[in-house]
Amino acid sequence: MKKNRPITLAYHTPVLSQNAQAIIRGVSSYVRLHADWHLRITHDKLDKVLPSLKSRGVDGAFVSPTSRAEEGLVARCGIPCILTHVTEPQKVLPYFTANNRLVGQMGAEHFIEKGFTNFAYYSLITVCSGQKSDWRVSRSESAKQAARFTYSNLPLPARMRKFRRKRPSIPGRQVHG
């Protein structure tokens, strides 16, 4: 049955992180392709947002719960929802997430393909609901594994070149490396 009104989606994020901004850009681009679609963005608490969205007739929502209790609230709200953040893998609610091992591996491979031999992985520590997220550890470990595999498979002269290269010294300054 075709609706006589525009389709309205909601996007909920408690914090407007770079990741949330990228997701919003993607969803917004999709919504722009459909002239009869609307997008509402909110940052209020889910216990207030979900009833409000339901009473306004929102057709679906992308939500970012920060606890199991909020995930349960989303599951019972009566609105089709997709989670943009999960506390653990879901069996009830649809969600999307990054493959953190692949992100780390692809990052290392990119630097290696560009000729870098000395690079590092850095991430700010994030805490969600009192627990540290482990995505950064997964990305870091897979980046290390990709680098170890690549450099251990290089012929010996190529591996040695990275250590023989000297940095220019500037008179009066000490160069650390």
Q: Which pLDDT value is given to residue 36? A: 79
pTM of the shown model: 0.59
Residue 30 DSSP class: H
Q: Between helices 46-55 and 68-76, what is the axis angle to 10°?
A: 10
pLDDT band of residue 145 (cuts 50, 70, 90) is: confident
Torsion over CA: 130, 76, 82, 40 (sign): negative
For 5, 18, 28, 80, the CA distances from 22, given in Å and listed in that order, are 28, 6, 10, 22
Per-residue pLDDT reduced to its tens digit, 79-117: 999 888 777 777 788 888 778 788 888 888 888 888 887
More confident of the two residues 16 and 166: 16
Per-residue pLDDT reduced to its tens digit, 149-171: 765 655 544 444 444 444 444 44
Per-residue pLDDT reduced to its tens digit, 18-45: 777 888 888 888 888 877 788 888 888 8
Burial level of 155, CB count in 10 A (0-12/13-18/19+)?
exposed
